[in-house]
Amino acid sequence: MFSRNADRPAPPGTAPVPGVRDVSPAMAHSPQLHLETTVIARADRVEGTLRVGDVLRVLGSVEGRIEATTVIIEEGARVAADVIADEVVIAGEYNGKLHCRQRLEVRPSGRVAGQIETFRLMLHEGAAVDGEMKMLKQPGLAEAEAIQGGSVRGAGDPVVRGPAFGPPGSSAPLAPPVSPGAEPIG
């Protein structure tokens, strides 16, 4: 009776991606929060270092540094911080050095700027990314110390720079169309 989506089938037209777990916020479908979720409310502004044991959900603004297992930046939220996490979902605005040991998802309302390092990348149509991007060859391959040292890439590593998936009418290069149910990059 009180299970976490175990008995509910996947929505039509969606297929589970092997090795990727759903980190969608619990409040989108239910008023219940995961017991280990830390929430920065819309009216809150936090500066400094945040170390969260499980899920950090940002609805307000954060500046500084974030270390968590999962970081969810909701639509309307603003984060200007260095982030080290296994999984990050961005629907708001993010600027900084981002190290995702597993997966980065940028939703349609998400805007990302800065240096990004991730194993898997999922960009929704309408999402915007501007900066340097490095795709890891294995989950957690490059350690988070790279961010502490001020660099998220090695001297010989390939880097993608510049705007991607910009809004209509912008000078951003157009991405090829992606078919529904396409696999994330990585």
Alpha helices in the chain (DSSP H): 145-148
Predicted pLDDT at 181 = 54
Contacts of 153 (CB under 8 A, 6+ apart): 115, 117, 132, 134, 146, 159
3-state secondary structure of 53: coil
For 84-140, what is each residue's pLDDT tens digit? 999 999 999 999 999 999 999 999 999 999 999 999 999 999 999 999 999 988 765
pTM of this structure: 0.61
Domain borders along the chain are: 34-164
Q: What is the mean pLDDT of residues 54-78?
A: 96
Element (H, E) at 35: none
Residue recorded with tokens 């089938």: 9
The DSSP output letter for 118 is E
- What the block records as the tokens of 97 is 């050095």
CA distance 58 to 86: 16
Q: Read off the pLDDT of residues 13-42 as tens digits, 9 standing for 90 and up.
A: 555 555 655 555 444 433 345 568 999 999
Beta strands in 18-58 (DSSP E): 37-40, 45-51, 55-58
For residues 37 and 54, is the Cβ–Cβ distance under 8 A?
A: yes
Residue bearing the bigger pLDDT, 141 or 124: 124
Q: What is the pLDDT of residues 84-96, one digit of tens each?
A: 999 999 999 999 9
